[in-house]
Structure 1
Amino acid sequence: MVSISGEEIEEAIGWRHHLHQHPELGFEEHETSAFIATRLAQWGYKIHTGYGKTGIVGTLSKGSSQRAIGIRADIDALPIAEQSGVSHASRTPGKMHACGHDGHISMALAAARAASRSEFDGTVHFVFQPAEENEGGGRAMVEDGLFRDLPMDRIFGLHNWPALELGKLVARDDRMMAAFGTFEIKVTGRGSHGAMPHEGADPIVAASQIVSALQAIASRNVSPLESAVVSVTQIHGGDAWNVIPEEVVIKGTTRWFEETIGAKIKDRISVIANNVAASFECSASLDYLSRYPATINDPESARIVRQSAASLSEIEIVDAQPSMAAEDFAFMLREKPGCYFWLGAKKEGRNPGLHSSFFDFNDQLLPLGARMWLALIDSQLPKAG
C-alpha cells in the first residue's frame, strides 16, 4: 500500500482546519466543492459536477480492469453556533462543522492524493456528497444519475464515531443506522380568556395529552423485539399569559428499521392525534414526512471492510449495536452493494458528541481514515500479477 508522509498528513490537517473555519450548509457548499475539485484536478482526477447540485466526484482510472468502487465523503455543515473555542473555529456565525464532515473530506482527499501515485488496477470514484444533514443529498446525487453515469461495483462510506475508542472500527453485516421521519401535528381548538377556559376548547390540554399518548406507540404498538422511536421535540402555542390560544403545533421525529414498523408509526400518530384532539373538542391535522430509509449494509461489502481493516495495525475491529440516528448514505446502498462503517474518534478528556456546539473532529483519526481508504482500494482494485 502506498504510504502517506507526515508532511502530507499535516497538510491534510490544515485542509481540515480551513474547512472547519468556512462551513457551508446543505446544497450551499460552493466554496467547499471548489476547494475539493481544485485539489483533485492537481492529482490527475477527472472532475464530475452536477450531481446533487454541489456534489463533486473525482475519478481516477489505472490499468485495464473494468472494476470500479466508490468512496463517499459528506461535505455539509450544520446550522449551529460554535462554542468549541478552538483556534480554527467557524468564522461564519450560526454555522459549524459539528459532525466532522470537514474531517471526512480531508481523510478522503489525503487518500485520493496518495492513490494518485499508487499502482491499482481499475477505477476509483471519490464521491463528495452535499446535504447529508436532513436534506437528502445522497438521494439527489442518485436521482441525478450518479450510478448511471459512473458505474461502480460497490460503494463505501465512513463516519467518525466519538462514542468509540480511537481507531476501533464497526462494520455490521446488516443494520447500521435507522430510517427516520418527521411529523407536525396542528391541534386546533377555540381560544378563550385564560380565566374562562370553559368558553373555549383548549388545544394546549389536548396537545399535552397527545404528547403523552404518542409514547405508547413504541411501547404498545411495536414488538419489543423491534426498534422504534417517537420523540416530540417541539411544542409551539400561545403568546400571552392570560389567553388560551386557538392553535398548538407539535413537532418531532420518528425512527425505525423495518418498513412495516415505519408505516405503523405513521398510522398510529394520525389515529392518536385525531382521536385525542376530538375528545377535547379540538381537531388535529398531521403533516408526516418519511425522510431517509434505514442504512443497511451488504454483508459481503461489510466483510471486505473488515478484511481491509485487518491489514492495518492501528485499527481494531469491534462490534456494536446499530444506531437509531439516520444517514442518507442509505439511498446509495439501495442502488449499489456497499458498506457504511464507523471509525472510533474518542478524545481524551472532554469528548463532545456529534452535533454538539462544542464538537471538533479528532485530527488523530485523519491518518487512520486515509489509510483505511487506501487499504480498501488495494483490496478491491489489486494490480494484476
Structure 2
Amino acid sequence: MHAILESLRSRADKFVALRRDIHQHPELGFQEHRTSDAVAERLAQWGYDVERGLGGTGVVGRLRRGSGTRRLGLRADMDALPIGEATGLPYSSSHAGVMHACGHDGHTAMLLCAAEYLAQEAQFSGTLNLIFQPAEEGMGGAVRMIQDGLFEKYPCDAVFAMHNMPGITQGRLVLRDGPTMASSDYATVTVRGVGGHGALPHRAADPLVAAAGIVLALQTVVSRNVDPLQMAVVTVGAMHAGKANNVIPQEATLEISVRALDRDVRATLERRIKALVQAQAESYGVRAEIDYRQGYAVLVNTPEETEFARQTALALLGPDKVVPQGPALPGSEDFAFMLERCPGSYLLIGNGDGDSAGACMVHNPGYDFNDDNVTIGAAYWALLTQRFLID
C-alpha cells in the first residue's frame, strides 16, 4: 500500500462525516452558501489564501511553497440537484426536493481531505490552486468562475478534476486522453400554423402534423450526416401541442437535446437541424422558429497531462486498479470550459458495481456517494500534487 494512502486513511473519518453533513444540507447551483462557508473556513484554518465569491458562490484556496514556478489547479464541484431523495439513509437530505444525487458532496470532501494533508504534511515547491466550483449541473458555474478571472488571478500550468462513476468497481481509476465527454446543446422549435376545427382540416395549417414530421426527419440527422464511427445524439425529449381531440392547435413546440464528441460534428448537427426544421415546416405549409442554444463544450483531455495523471494513478494503486484508456461518455461536464483555457485531464473513480449500493446511477433518487472513495480520491490528489510540484 502506498504510504500516502496509509496516511490519508487515518484522516478520512472526519471528512466522511463532513461529506455526510454536506449531503444532509444540499444546495442548488449558485446557492451553495453553507457549503462554501465550510470549505473556506477549513482552507483558511490550514493556511491557504482564500477567495470567496468567484463565480457567485465559488471558493479558491491557494497555497504557495518554496521557490518552484509551476502552478497546479485541482477542481471539485459543490452543487446538488432538484431531486427528492429516496435512500432512507440517516443523513438523507433535510431539504425537500433537493439532494446530492451526483456525488459532488464526495468530490468536495475528497479535495478537502487532500488539502489538509498537503498543508500539514506534504513537501512540494510551487503553487497549488484548489478550485471549489458552484453550479456544475447545467448552470455553467465553470464559465462564471472563468468570467470572474479565475485563470488570470490563479494561473495554472495544468488543471485536473475527478468524478465518481457508478457501474465501475469502487476505487478503480479510469483515465482517457482526447475527447472524453460530449457537448450538450439545446433547441426549442416552435411550429406555427393555422388552427381550426378537427372536422375541417383542409381549412387549417396543422402545426402538430408538421411537428411530427420534424421529429421523424430529425432521426436522419445522425444516420445520414455523421460518420458512423463518430458519436452523436439528437433526442426530441418533449412535444407539446393542443388540448382537445377536435381542435387543430395554432402551434406546437419541440424540445431537443443534441450531443457530440467532436467539435466539427457538433457544428454539423446544428447546421443540419436548423436546415431540416425549416424545410420540413415549409413542406407542410407552416412556419418554424428555432431557438438553438449551445450548452457545454466537448470535454477534451490533453495527452501530456492525461499521461501524467495516468502514471500517478498507476503509482498509487497499481495496474490492477487503473483503466489507462477508458471509453468516452455521452454525458456532459462544464469542466470542459476550464480545459479550453488550460491543459489538463478529467478522470473517473469507480463508485461501485454489481449489486453494491454504489452501483446506483447518478441523478437517481437512490444514489449515494461511496465513502470509501474519500481516502483514495484524497490520496490521488495528494500524490498528483507532490509529483507535479516537485521540490
TM-score, length of structure 1 as denominator length? 0.95
Matched residues, percent identical? 42
Q: Which residue of 1 aligns with 2:153?
A: 149
Q: Which residue of 2 aligns with 1:324?
A: 330
Cα RMSD of the aligned pairs, angstroms, is 1.6
Does structure 1 residue 122 correspond to structure 2 residue 105? no
Q: Which residue of 1 aligns with 2:142?
A: 138
Match among 260, 264, 272 for residue 260 of structure 1: 264
Q: Which residue of 2 aligns with 1:371?
A: 379
1:13 counterpart SS class: helix
Distance 1:225 1:30, change over 3 A: same
Match among 225, 238, 243 for residue 242 of structure 2: 238
Does structure 1 residue 281 correspond to structure 2 residue 285? yes
| 2:8–2:379 Cα contact (<8 Å) kept | no
Q: Distance in 2 between matches of 1:270 and 1:134?
A: 23
Match among 64, 67, 71 for residue 64 of structure 1: 67
Alignment deviations for residues 117-146 of structure 1 (CA, whole Å, 9 cap, x no partner): 122221211100111111111111112111
Q: Distance in 2 between matches of 1:13 and 1:52?
A: 27
| 1:73–1:101 Cα contact (<8 Å) kept | yes
Following TM superposition, by how much is the alpha carbon of 1:6 offset from its aligned partner in structure 2, in angstroms? Answer: 4.3
Distance 1:42 1:347, change over 3 A: farther
Q: Distance in 1 between matches of 2:368 and 2:266?
A: 33
Alignment deviations for residues 31-88 of structure 1 (CA, whole Å, 9 cap, x no partner): 1111111111111111012321111001111122122101000111111122222221
Farther off after superposition, 310-319 or 244-253: 310-319
Amino acid across the alignment from 1:316: K
| 1:50–1:144 Cα contact (<8 Å) kept | no
1:366 counterpart SS class: helix
Match among 312, 322, 343 for residue 337 of structure 1: 343
Alignment deviations for residues 226-277 of structure 1 (CA, whole Å, 9 cap, x no partner): 2211111111222234322211110021111222211211111112111212
| 2:40–2:52 Cα contact (<8 Å) kept | no
Does structure 1 residue 358 correspond to structure 2 residue 366? yes
Instruction: Specify every segment of 5 or more residues in structure 1 that has no aligned partner in the other structure, as ranges.
Output: none
Q: Distance in 2 between matches of 1:248 and 1:191?
A: 11
Alignment deviations for residues 155-185 of structure 1 (CA, whole Å, 9 cap, x no partner): 1001111121112222212111111211100
1:310 counterpart SS class: helix
Amino acid across the alignment from 2:241: G
Q: Which residue of 1 aligns with 2:36?
A: 33
Q: Distance in 2 between matches of 1:4 and 1:139?
A: 35
Q: Which residue of 1 aligns with 2:166?
A: 162
1:35 counterpart SS class: helix
Farther off after superposition, 104-113 or 266-275: 266-275
Q: Distance in 1 between matches of 2:116 and 2:289?
A: 53
Following TM superposition, by how much is the alpha carbon of 1:345 offset from its aligned partner in structure 2, in angstroms? Answer: 1.1
TM-score, length of structure 2 as denominator length? 0.94
The structure carrying a bigger helix percent of its residues is 2
Q: Distance in 1 between matches of 2:8 and 2:71?
A: 26
| 1:347–1:362 Cα contact (<8 Å) kept | no
Does structure 1 residue 97 correspond to structure 2 residue 100? yes
Q: Which residue of 2 aligns with 1:171?
A: 175
Amino acid across the alignment from 2:125: D
Does structure 1 residue 194 correspond to structure 2 residue 198? yes
| 1:214–1:269 Cα contact (<8 Å) kept | yes
Alignment deviations for residues 355-383 of structure 1 (CA, whole Å, 9 cap, x no partner): 11221111121111111101101111123
Does structure 1 residue 53 correspond to structure 2 residue 61? no
Does structure 1 residue 228 correspond to structure 2 residue 228? no
Match among 307, 310, 325 for residue 306 of structure 1: 310
| 1:69–1:153 Cα contact (<8 Å) kept | yes
Following TM superposition, by how much is the alpha carbon of 1:279 offset from its aligned partner in structure 2, in angstroms? Answer: 2.0
Q: Distance in 2 between matches of 1:364 and 1:376?
A: 19
| 1:23–1:90 Cα contact (<8 Å) kept | yes
Following TM superposition, by how much is the alpha carbon of 1:329 offset from its aligned partner in structure 2, in angstroms? Answer: 0.7
1:187 counterpart SS class: strand
Instruction: Specify every segment of 5 or more residues in structure 2 that has no aligned partner in the other structure, as ranges.
Output: none
Q: Distance in 2 between matches of 1:200 and 1:8?
A: 71
Regions of 4+ moved over 6 Å: none
1:89 counterpart SS class: coil
